[in-house]
Structure 1
Amino acid sequence: MELRTLESRPVLIDQVYERLVDAISIGSLPPGQRLRQEKLAADLGVSRQPVSHALAMLKSSGLAVEQGVRGLVVAPIDPQRLYHLYEVRAVMEGLSARLAAQRVAADPTLEVTALSEALAKGAAAEQVGDIPAAVDWDLAFHSAINVLSGNPVLTEVSDSQRPQIRRVMAVVKTDRSLATRIWLEHTAIADAIRVGDAATAETLAREHAARAGEETRRRLISKARSANTA
Structure 2
Amino acid sequence: MRIQELPQCAVAVDLAILTVREQALQALVIERATPPHQGVAALPGGFLLAGETLEDAAHRKLTQETGLDVTHLHVRQLHAYSDPGRDPRGRIVSVLYVALLPDLPLPAAGGGAATATWRSAEELLAQPDELAFDHHRMLTDAVEHARDSLSYTTVATTFCRPEFTIAELRSVYEVIWGARLDPSNFHRKVTRAEDFLIPTGKKTATDGGRPAALFRAGPATRLHPALLHERHPRTP
On whether the aligned pair clears a TM of 0.5, the verdict is no
TM-score by length of 2: 0.24
When normalised by structure 1's length, the TM-score is: 0.24
Mark the structure with the bigger radius of gyration: 2
More helix by share: 1
* Bigger proportion of residues as strand: 2
